[in-house]
Amino acid sequence: MADDFDLEALVHLEQTFYDSGHADGFAHGRIHGLIEGRALGREKGFEMWEELGFYEGFALTWQAIYTQQGRDDQRAMHHIKHLLELISQFPRINPSAAQAESSSNEELDISKLLRQIRSRYKALCASLGVRPTLRAAQVAEAGDEEGSGPGPSASRQVWKLEEDAKRPTMQGLSF
Amino acid sequence: MDSPWDDDPQATYAREADWAKISNEFTNSGYREGIVAGKESALQEGFDSGFADVGVPLGRELGLLRGTVSAILSLLSSQPPADIPFTAIDEARDIATSLGNIRFTDIAPRDVEAEQHAREHMDSDDPALDGSEELVEKRKMEGLEDMLEKLTAGAGGISAQGRPTKEDVVRLKERLGALSRDLGLFIQTVG
């Protein structure tokens, strides 16, 4: 009996050591998770919206040019209107957080929206007789597939953090 | 004298040493697993806040400026040279080049919490941390990363002193606004 008791106490004590270590580690790990997550999120948000902002600024400026010149080009104005409309639909917070907050916001297909934006921008450039920026040309194949059905990446809806975190190139903010 | 029972104190000492070893072992393994679990629990939260609070607004602002100057440049170069003031094209090109040079690291605000935490690592004497060779090793890496970050943020790339700053973006924005007004454009601003 006495032996049993001792053994249990020992097991319990080991658990106590483990638990207190775990609690300290968890708190420390959270700090690192927040820091590393922030670094990744900043980069990703910047990258996405630098491109979208470019299309937005481009469209708004051509809108102003057409207004000033009193030009009446239905086609270009149509593209501008739709481009700005598409951009306004693009999320400015990570959709994973948005979807958690409101479940009504369902099935937001980011990559499809991005493809639509890029091809609308290129269509606008074509109607203006302006050469599109290089980065839109680089994703030309993806954009041109749009009419022929959903591309292979259509199922990707939100930015899964894991994908980015696992990238070997990220200089690890480790503990 | 040479009785085997005489080494009692020695045995007690050994038991205490064992005890400390066990306590350390379990605390450390709890700590290691806790750190991984804690990190995983917070990564997404950090990502979302960095995305919405810093990355998106900064990227959008810079993108808007670049898109605007790109449209102005394409307008100016599509018109017969006689029709446009020569200085306007030069100014637009200059603004476009300067905007093109700006990197995220040039204009990103400092992550004060990250810097603070890195400093804590540098001068912490947390025994649980000091115990692990792995952690000491990684702390050294962090120090290196901080140094590298300072280098890339301060200098980085071709020119040693000329990295653009937030203030440069503000100035370029003003110049772009002035240029649009000169051209008689009223570009809708977005919020």
ipTM of the complex, rounded to two decimals: 0.73
Give the number of residues written for chain B.
Answer: 191
Query: In this complex, how many residue pairs, one in chain A and one in chain B, have their CB atoms less than 8 Å apart?
Result: 286
d(CA A16, CA A69): 77
**Is A68 part of the contact surface with chain B (CB cutoff 8 Å)?**
yes
As for how many domains chain B has, the answer is 1
B65 → chain A, closest CA residue: A57
CA distance A108 to chain B (A): 16
Chain B residues 66-95 with a CB less than 8 Å from chain A? 66-68, 70-72, 74-75, 78
Q: Is B145 contained in some domain?
A: yes
Q: Is B189 contained in some domain?
A: no
Asked if A175 lies within 8 A of B35 by C-beta distance, the reply is yes
Q: Is B78 contained in some domain?
A: yes
B61 → chain A, closest CA residue: A53
Residues from chain B that touch A173, judged by Cβ atoms under 8 A, are 114, 142, 145
- pLDDT above 90 (res A4): no
Residue among B49, B41, B45, B130 at smallest CA distance from A23:
B41
Asked if B56 lies within 8 A of A49 by C-beta distance, the reply is yes
d(CA B132, CA A52): 46
Judge whether B46 and A98 are in contact, CB under 8 Å: no
d(CA A21, CA A32): 17
Predicted local confidence at residue B56, as pLDDT: 96
d(CA B63, CA B68): 8
Q: Is B29 contained in some domain?
A: yes
Judge whether A57 and A85 are in contact, CB under 8 Å: no
Q: Is B138 contained in some domain?
A: yes
Query: What confidence tens digit (pLDDT) does each residue in B97-109 have?
Result: 999 989 888 899 9
Copy the structure tokens of residue B15. Answer: 């038991």
Report the percent of chain B where pLDDT is more than 70.
Answer: 71
Query: What confidence tens digit (pLDDT) does each residue in B147-190 have?
Result: 775 666 554 444 445 788 999 999 999 999 999 998 888 887 66
pTM of the predicted model, to two decimals?
Answer: 0.73
Q: Is B1 contained in some domain?
A: no
Chain A contact probe: residue of B60, B78, B104 with most A CBs at under 10 A: B60
- Residue A165: count other Cβ atoms within 10 Å of its Cβ: 18
Q: Is B154 contained in some domain?
A: yes
Residue among A161, A175, A170 at smallest CA distance from B47:
A161
Domain residues for the domain of B17 are: 10-182
Q: Is B2 contained in some domain?
A: no
- Residue B117: count other Cβ atoms within 10 Å of its Cβ: 20
Q: What b/e readout covers A131-151, taking b as 16+ CB neighbours within 10 angstroms?
A: ebbeebeeeeebbeeeeeeeb
Residues from chain B that touch A60, judged by Cβ atoms under 8 A, are 64, 67-68, 187-188, 190
